[in-house]
Structure 1
Amino acid sequence: MKANLHQIRRFRRYSEDFKKELVSLFEQGKFSVCQLERLYGVSNVTIYNWIYKYSTFNEKGYRIIEMKNSSENKLKELEAKVRELERTVGQKQIKIEFLEKMVELAKTELDIDLKKNFNTPPSAGSERTKKN
Protein backbone atom coordinates (compact mmCIF):
# COMPACT_ATOMS: atom_id res chain seq x y z
CA MET A 1 0.00 0.00 0.00
CA LYS A 2 2.84 2.43 0.78
CA ALA A 3 4.34 1.89 -2.66
CA ASN A 4 1.09 3.03 -4.30
CA LEU A 5 0.89 6.09 -2.05
CA HIS A 6 4.46 7.03 -2.90
CA GLN A 7 3.76 6.61 -6.60
CA ILE A 8 0.62 8.76 -6.41
CA ARG A 9 2.42 11.57 -4.58
CA ARG A 10 5.32 11.54 -7.02
CA PHE A 11 3.24 12.22 -10.10
CA ARG A 12 0.96 15.01 -8.94
CA ARG A 13 0.19 17.77 -11.42
CA TYR A 14 -0.61 21.33 -10.36
CA SER A 15 -2.47 23.92 -12.36
CA GLU A 16 -0.73 27.07 -13.56
CA ASP A 17 -3.08 29.18 -11.43
CA PHE A 18 -2.17 27.21 -8.30
CA LYS A 19 1.54 27.64 -8.98
CA LYS A 20 1.17 31.37 -9.62
CA GLU A 21 -0.94 31.76 -6.47
CA LEU A 22 1.79 30.18 -4.31
CA VAL A 23 4.43 32.40 -5.94
CA SER A 24 2.22 35.43 -5.33
CA LEU A 25 1.80 34.52 -1.65
CA PHE A 26 5.57 34.21 -1.34
CA GLU A 27 6.28 37.50 -3.13
CA GLN A 28 3.75 39.41 -1.02
CA GLY A 29 5.56 38.21 2.09
CA LYS A 30 2.50 36.50 3.51
CA PHE A 31 4.20 33.11 3.75
CA SER A 32 7.74 31.77 3.56
CA VAL A 33 8.63 28.80 1.38
CA CYS A 34 8.72 26.56 4.46
CA GLN A 35 5.25 27.70 5.49
CA LEU A 36 3.89 27.11 1.97
CA GLU A 37 5.47 23.66 1.99
CA ARG A 38 3.66 22.76 5.21
CA LEU A 39 0.34 24.36 4.22
CA TYR A 40 0.02 22.89 0.74
CA GLY A 41 2.11 19.71 0.96
CA VAL A 42 4.40 20.73 -1.90
CA SER A 43 8.15 20.26 -1.57
CA ASN A 44 10.27 23.35 -1.13
CA VAL A 45 12.36 22.48 -4.21
CA THR A 46 9.19 22.51 -6.30
CA ILE A 47 8.10 25.83 -4.83
CA TYR A 48 11.53 27.35 -5.53
CA ASN A 49 11.31 26.12 -9.13
CA TRP A 50 7.90 27.80 -9.46
CA ILE A 51 9.30 30.99 -7.95
CA TYR A 52 12.10 31.06 -10.51
CA LYS A 53 9.65 30.30 -13.32
CA TYR A 54 6.71 32.60 -12.43
CA SER A 55 8.22 35.31 -10.25
CA THR A 56 8.31 38.88 -11.48
CA PHE A 57 11.61 39.73 -9.81
CA ASN A 58 13.38 36.48 -8.79
CA GLU A 59 15.58 35.04 -11.50
CA LYS A 60 17.14 31.63 -11.96
CA GLY A 61 20.77 31.60 -10.94
CA TYR A 62 20.20 33.90 -7.98
CA ARG A 63 19.75 32.33 -4.60
CA ILE A 64 16.77 33.37 -2.51
CA ILE A 65 17.79 33.59 1.11
CA GLU A 66 15.08 33.71 3.72
CA MET A 67 15.90 34.76 7.21
CA LYS A 68 14.37 32.27 9.59
CA ASN A 69 13.19 34.98 11.96
CA SER A 70 12.43 37.64 9.33
CA SER A 71 8.67 37.14 9.45
CA GLU A 72 8.78 37.08 13.26
CA ASN A 73 10.83 40.28 13.29
CA LYS A 74 8.44 41.93 10.85
CA LEU A 75 5.49 40.95 13.04
CA LYS A 76 7.21 42.33 16.15
CA GLU A 77 7.98 45.60 14.33
CA LEU A 78 4.37 45.94 13.23
CA GLU A 79 3.10 45.22 16.75
CA ALA A 80 5.47 47.88 18.14
CA LYS A 81 4.20 50.35 15.56
CA VAL A 82 0.58 49.58 16.51
CA ARG A 83 1.40 50.13 20.20
CA GLU A 84 3.07 53.46 19.37
CA LEU A 85 0.09 54.59 17.28
CA GLU A 86 -2.35 53.55 20.03
CA ARG A 87 -0.32 55.55 22.54
CA THR A 88 -0.37 58.59 20.23
CA VAL A 89 -4.14 58.29 19.75
CA GLY A 90 -4.59 58.04 23.53
CA GLN A 91 -2.51 61.19 24.06
CA LYS A 92 -4.53 63.06 21.43
CA GLN A 93 -7.78 61.93 23.04
CA ILE A 94 -6.61 63.22 26.43
CA LYS A 95 -5.70 66.55 24.82
CA ILE A 96 -9.13 66.79 23.14
CA GLU A 97 -10.90 66.08 26.43
CA PHE A 98 -8.75 68.68 28.20
CA LEU A 99 -9.53 71.35 25.60
CA GLU A 100 -13.25 70.55 25.70
CA LYS A 101 -13.19 70.91 29.50
CA MET A 102 -11.37 74.26 29.17
CA VAL A 103 -14.03 75.52 26.74
CA GLU A 104 -16.74 74.40 29.15
CA LEU A 105 -15.03 76.12 32.10
CA ALA A 106 -14.53 79.31 30.09
CA LYS A 107 -18.25 79.38 29.39
CA THR A 108 -19.41 78.64 32.94
CA GLU A 109 -16.77 80.46 35.01
CA LEU A 110 -15.76 83.37 32.78
CA ASP A 111 -18.91 83.81 30.69
CA ILE A 112 -16.89 83.48 27.49
CA ASP A 113 -18.43 81.40 24.72
CA LEU A 114 -15.58 79.87 22.73
CA LYS A 115 -17.67 77.48 20.67
CA LYS A 116 -18.69 78.58 17.23
CA ASN A 117 -22.44 79.06 17.06
CA PHE A 118 -23.67 79.66 13.54
CA ASN A 119 -27.02 81.14 14.64
CA THR A 120 -25.55 83.94 16.76
CA PRO A 121 -24.34 87.25 15.33
CA PRO A 122 -20.59 87.92 15.42
CA SER A 123 -19.30 89.40 18.65
CA ALA A 124 -18.24 93.03 18.96
CA GLY A 125 -14.79 92.12 20.23
CA SER A 126 -13.43 90.62 23.39
CA GLU A 127 -16.26 91.78 25.61
CA ARG A 128 -17.91 89.37 27.99
CA THR A 129 -21.12 87.86 26.79
CA LYS A 130 -24.23 88.46 28.82
CA LYS A 131 -25.56 85.49 30.69
CA ASN A 132 -29.23 84.75 30.06
Structure 2
Amino acid sequence: MKNLLLLVLASLVLASCGASITPETLHGKWKYTRVRNPKASPPDSVSSVTLGIEKPYIEFTNKDSLIIHWDGRVLSHGTYKLEGRNIIYKEVLADNSTREFPFYIENVDGKQMMFTTKGEDGSEVTAVKQ
Protein backbone atom coordinates (compact mmCIF):
# COMPACT_ATOMS: atom_id res chain seq x y z
CA MET A 1 0.00 0.00 0.00
CA LYS A 2 2.83 2.41 0.87
CA ASN A 3 4.55 1.72 -2.47
CA LEU A 4 1.30 2.34 -4.32
CA LEU A 5 0.85 5.68 -2.55
CA LEU A 6 4.43 6.70 -3.43
CA LEU A 7 3.86 5.71 -7.06
CA VAL A 8 0.64 7.76 -7.25
CA LEU A 9 2.35 10.80 -5.66
CA ALA A 10 5.32 10.54 -8.03
CA SER A 11 2.96 10.31 -11.01
CA LEU A 12 1.07 13.40 -9.88
CA VAL A 13 4.27 15.39 -9.45
CA LEU A 14 5.50 14.41 -12.92
CA ALA A 15 2.13 15.19 -14.51
CA SER A 16 1.99 18.61 -12.86
CA CYS A 17 5.42 19.53 -14.25
CA GLY A 18 4.23 19.03 -17.81
CA ALA A 19 6.39 18.17 -20.77
CA SER A 20 8.67 20.69 -22.40
CA ILE A 21 7.38 22.34 -25.54
CA THR A 22 9.37 22.13 -28.78
CA PRO A 23 9.56 24.95 -31.35
CA GLU A 24 7.94 22.61 -33.90
CA THR A 25 4.87 22.40 -31.65
CA LEU A 26 4.47 26.18 -31.89
CA HIS A 27 5.37 26.85 -35.54
CA GLY A 28 2.49 28.35 -37.49
CA LYS A 29 -0.43 30.72 -36.94
CA TRP A 30 -2.63 30.51 -33.85
CA LYS A 31 -5.98 32.33 -34.06
CA TYR A 32 -7.14 33.87 -30.78
CA THR A 33 -10.48 32.47 -29.63
CA ARG A 34 -10.51 33.93 -26.11
CA VAL A 35 -8.66 36.83 -24.45
CA ARG A 36 -9.12 37.67 -20.78
CA ASN A 37 -7.44 40.13 -18.44
CA PRO A 38 -8.42 38.70 -15.04
CA LYS A 39 -6.15 41.03 -13.04
CA ALA A 40 -7.52 44.23 -14.57
CA SER A 41 -9.71 46.34 -12.30
CA PRO A 42 -12.42 45.41 -13.06
CA PRO A 43 -11.53 42.13 -14.80
CA ASP A 44 -11.90 42.43 -18.56
CA SER A 45 -12.18 40.28 -21.66
CA VAL A 46 -12.35 40.78 -25.40
CA SER A 47 -15.75 39.88 -26.82
CA SER A 48 -16.11 37.08 -29.33
CA VAL A 49 -17.61 39.64 -31.75
CA THR A 50 -14.46 41.78 -31.51
CA LEU A 51 -12.26 38.71 -31.97
CA GLY A 52 -14.29 37.78 -35.06
CA ILE A 53 -13.96 41.24 -36.58
CA GLU A 54 -10.33 42.02 -35.69
CA LYS A 55 -9.04 38.45 -36.25
CA PRO A 56 -6.04 38.50 -33.89
CA TYR A 57 -3.44 35.74 -34.09
CA ILE A 58 0.08 34.94 -32.99
CA GLU A 59 2.56 33.51 -35.46
CA PHE A 60 5.67 31.51 -34.60
CA THR A 61 8.13 31.10 -37.47
CA ASN A 62 10.76 28.42 -37.86
CA LYS A 63 13.40 31.17 -37.52
CA ASP A 64 12.41 31.96 -33.90
CA SER A 65 10.36 35.03 -34.83
CA LEU A 66 7.13 35.82 -33.05
CA ILE A 67 4.60 38.18 -34.62
CA ILE A 68 1.28 39.23 -33.08
CA HIS A 69 -1.31 40.40 -35.61
CA TRP A 70 -4.44 42.36 -34.65
CA ASP A 71 -7.00 43.97 -36.97
CA GLY A 72 -4.88 43.32 -40.07
CA ARG A 73 -1.74 44.96 -38.63
CA VAL A 74 1.37 43.83 -36.82
CA LEU A 75 0.71 44.68 -33.17
CA SER A 76 4.03 43.33 -31.88
CA HIS A 77 7.08 41.49 -33.22
CA GLY A 78 10.36 40.11 -32.02
CA THR A 79 12.11 36.84 -31.31
CA TYR A 80 11.44 34.04 -28.85
CA LYS A 81 13.15 31.13 -27.20
CA LEU A 82 11.69 28.29 -25.21
CA GLU A 83 12.59 27.47 -21.63
CA GLY A 84 10.51 24.47 -20.61
CA ARG A 85 6.91 25.69 -20.78
CA ASN A 86 7.90 29.37 -20.99
CA ILE A 87 8.15 31.37 -24.19
CA ILE A 88 10.72 34.09 -23.51
CA TYR A 89 9.65 36.88 -25.86
CA LYS A 90 12.06 39.66 -26.81
CA GLU A 91 9.79 42.33 -28.27
CA VAL A 92 11.20 45.01 -30.61
CA LEU A 93 9.63 48.36 -29.74
CA ALA A 94 8.96 51.28 -32.12
CA ASP A 95 12.25 53.01 -31.20
CA ASN A 96 14.16 49.72 -31.86
CA SER A 97 14.77 49.16 -28.15
CA THR A 98 13.66 45.81 -26.78
CA ARG A 99 11.94 44.41 -23.74
CA GLU A 100 11.82 40.81 -22.65
CA PHE A 101 9.04 38.98 -20.86
CA PRO A 102 7.71 35.44 -20.56
CA PHE A 103 4.52 33.80 -21.75
CA TYR A 104 3.67 30.68 -19.76
CA ILE A 105 2.10 27.91 -21.82
CA GLU A 106 -0.66 26.51 -19.64
CA ASN A 107 -1.74 23.92 -22.19
CA VAL A 108 -0.95 22.97 -25.77
CA ASP A 109 -2.08 19.91 -27.69
CA GLY A 110 -1.08 20.71 -31.27
CA LYS A 111 -4.50 22.14 -32.12
CA GLN A 112 -5.23 24.44 -29.18
CA MET A 113 -3.02 26.44 -26.87
CA MET A 114 -3.62 28.52 -23.77
CA PHE A 115 -0.90 30.90 -22.61
CA THR A 116 -0.68 33.59 -19.96
CA THR A 117 1.38 36.64 -19.20
CA LYS A 118 1.99 37.76 -15.65
CA GLY A 119 1.79 41.11 -13.85
CA GLU A 120 -1.02 43.60 -13.42
CA ASP A 121 -1.52 43.75 -17.21
CA GLY A 122 -1.41 39.96 -17.43
CA SER A 123 -3.70 38.22 -19.85
CA GLU A 124 -4.91 34.72 -20.65
CA VAL A 125 -5.16 33.81 -24.32
CA THR A 126 -6.68 30.71 -25.86
CA ALA A 127 -5.82 30.12 -29.50
CA VAL A 128 -6.39 27.44 -32.13
CA LYS A 129 -3.90 26.48 -34.81
CA GLN A 130 -4.88 27.61 -38.30
TM-score by length of 2: 0.25
Taking CA–CA contacts closer than 8 Å with sequence separation of 6 or more, which of the two structures ends up with the larger relative contact order? Answer: 2
Structure (1 or 2) with the greater helix fraction: 1
Please identify which structure carries the higher strand content: 2
Q: Give the number of the structure whose alpha-carbon radius of gyration is greater.
A: 1
